[in-house]
Amino acid sequence: MTSDTLKRLYAKMLRIRRIEETIADAYPEKHMRCPVHLSIGQEAVPVGLCDQLGVRDHIYSTHRCHAHYLAKEGRLPEMIAELYGKVTGCCKGRGGSMHLVQASTGMMGSSAIVAGTIPLAVGSAFAMAAEKSKLVSVAFFGDGASEEGIFYEALNFASLRKLPVIFACENNQLATYSPQSARQASTDIAKRAHAFDMASATVDGNDVEAVYRASEEAIARARSGKGPTLLEFKTYRWRDHVGPTFDYHVGFRSKEDVEEGMKSCPIESLEKKLLSTGAMTAADKGRLEDEIKRELAAAFKFAADSPFPQTSEIFNDIYA
Ligand SMILES: Cc1ncc(C[n+]2csc(CCOP(=O)(O)OP(=O)(O)O)c2C)c(N)n1
């Protein structure tokens, strides 16, 4: 991979990390009155995959959707405004953190119903195939979602029709506070594709280069009409399942466990590589940090200055 590509991936991961850290820091101010599920530690997956998608390719996400929205070039001010419940938010302030949608950038939906968006991604791929468009649809979901029946129905239909869809499982080894090994008879999620004659791979989800390469292959397979791929990215969630802090108090993992997990930080490892090869200097990194800070300050100001929706609009944009 060229150093330009690596620097771009690094910058995207760092930006998402800083955005989520800022959300965590600002959360106690109570301007964001929705639950937040942070992806801190998991940035390599959305960045390595979405970097190779075009604006017309579709992605679908979950309750943990900030990183997906941002990696797909979702606009930051509209995301923060959405978290503030403001009318300028990407869902007019009606969705909050778990329901980020921005059709213009190909972020087609996210939902708190575990596995709920997997069939929607298959539906997009069905339409893309019918239109012979060479577009790709991606379903991001967690290891917990792979326990839902709809996951298997979606795999079957996608493989049967050779649809251009990528099932991107972010296996952070936890569903709320329950470890994967306590819930699943086999923890090898990628292997489940075999039952449907589907291509699959297990990938180090903390290594953005590995994510990029595996995604490149899956995207090429989808665009050339050869069908879906199930990618299982092994990664690690640093913060609490929900909320801005950590979850040591819950008792299922210790501070030491989390510190061990943090050693595979996708950003730190790439940063070391870029600095040691001279592809990036400390001054370059400083400039990047300053740029992100300025962007964040402007986005939070935009959210704070925006109006709330009018009560009279409450029945707009709903099915009834
Ligand atoms: C259908 C359904 N069942 C249960 C829940 C409650 N719930 C919310 S998040 C979550 C865990 C999801 O774990 P995973 O899919 O691994 O995603 P992660 O939170 O690790 O990103 C559960 C069980 C829900 N929202 N929807």
Quote the strand ranges of 155-196, DSSP E. Answer: 165-171, 174-175, 178-179
Question: Tokens 């061990």 map to which residue?
Answer: 260
- CA atoms lying within 13 Å on the CB side of residue 81: 24
Ligand 1 environment, Cβ below 6 A: 63-64, 112-114, 141-145, 172, 174-176, 241
Residue 189 CA to ligand 1 centre (angstroms)? 16
Asked whether 16 and 43 are in contact (CB, 8 A), the reply is yes
Q: CA 35, CA 98: separation in Å to the nearest integer?
A: 8
Q: 207: exposed, middle or buried (C-beta count within 10 Å: 0-12, 13-18, 19+)?
A: buried
pTM above 0.85, yes or no: yes
> Nearest C-alpha to atom 7 of ligand 1 is from which residue?
114
> Nearest C-alpha to atom 4 of ligand 1 is from which residue?
114
Q: CA 297, CA 249: separation in Å to the nearest integer?
A: 32
What is the crossing angle of helices 3-26 and 208-223, to 10°?
110
Residue 320 has pLDDT above 80, yes or no: no
Give the residue from 144, 190, 184 showing the smallest Cα distance to 167.
Answer: 190
| Ligand 1 atom closest to Cα of residue 180 | 16
With vertex at residue 204, the alpha carbon angle to CA 154 and CA 218, rounded to the nearest 5 degrees, is: 45
| Mutational pocket test of ligand 1: of 176, 238, 247, the residue with most ligand atoms within 8 Å of the beta carbon | 176
Residue 175 CA to ligand 1 centre (angstroms)? 6
Dump pLDDT digits (tens) for 40-81: 999 999 999 999 999 999 999 999 999 999 999 999 999 999
Dump pLDDT digits (tens) for 136-167: 999 999 999 999 999 999 999 999 999 999 99
Residue 114 CA to ligand 1 centre (angstroms)? 5
| Mutational pocket test of ligand 1: of 114, 151, 236, the residue with most ligand atoms within 8 Å of the beta carbon | 114
> Nearest C-alpha to atom 3 of ligand 1 is from which residue?
114
Share above pLDDT 70 across residues of the chain, in percent, rounded to a whole number: 100
